[in-house]
């Protein structure tokens, strides 16, 4: 596992920047949408159907993935990375709601203690990832590994 992680993080500088763009876009979109949803309580309804931002997240991640595969320019890859990060952030925020969708009349609402637990888990996972990346970069020999 450590060998694989070293291989992932020994990409050249431009690839590492793309990974950072994904992480930053993920964090920003997750916290912005969670803050907006918590403070306003607004939802999108189309023809009486509640459209969760899970679908927007899947759309952004899909478009970013397709753009990333088709693009060969640096700007296109950076835009694709941002779209993927935004999509994953929207998707990850909605997972907490979908997991809490267990009320008797199927109303999917956040309960604050449950949401707080979920937010702490996400923040802990992100912190662990940042620490892991720092350790791998510190102890790596800066030579790409062959897979």
CA angle 39, 63, 57 (to 5 degrees): 25
pTM of the model: 0.64
- Per the rule left: phi > 0, alpha: psi between -120 and 50, beta: everything else, 140 is beta
Would you write out the chain's pLDDT as a tens digit for each of its 147 residues? 667 766 666 656 677 788 888 888 988 888 888 777 777 777 777 787 777 788 889 999 999 999 999 998 989 999 999 999 999 998 888 876 666 665 555 565 555 555 666 677 777 777 777 766 666 665 555 555 454
CA angle 81, 85, 87 (to 5 degrees): 115
pLDDT at 87: 94
pLDDT at 38: 73
The DSSP bridge pattern shows strands 49-51 and 44-46 to be antiparallel
């Amino acid at each position: 596992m450590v060998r694989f992680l070293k291989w992932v993080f020994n990409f050249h500088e431009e690839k590492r920047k793309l990974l950072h763009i994904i992480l930053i876009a993920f964090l920003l979109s997750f916290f912005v949408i969670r803050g907006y949803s918590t403070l306003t309580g607004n939802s999108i309804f189309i023809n009486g159907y509640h459209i969760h931002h899970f679908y927007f997240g899947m759309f952004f991640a899909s478009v970013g993935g397709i753009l990333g595969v088709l693009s060969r320019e640096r700007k296109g890859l950076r835009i694709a990375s941002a779209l993927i990060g935004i999509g994953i952030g929207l998707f990850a925020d909605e997972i907490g709601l979908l997991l809490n969708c267990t009320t008797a009349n199927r109303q999917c609402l956040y309960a604050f203690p449950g949401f707080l637990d979920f937010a702490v888990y996400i923040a802990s996972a992100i912190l662990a990832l940042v620490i892991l990346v720092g350790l791998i970069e510190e102890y790596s020999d800066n030579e790409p590994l062959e897979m």
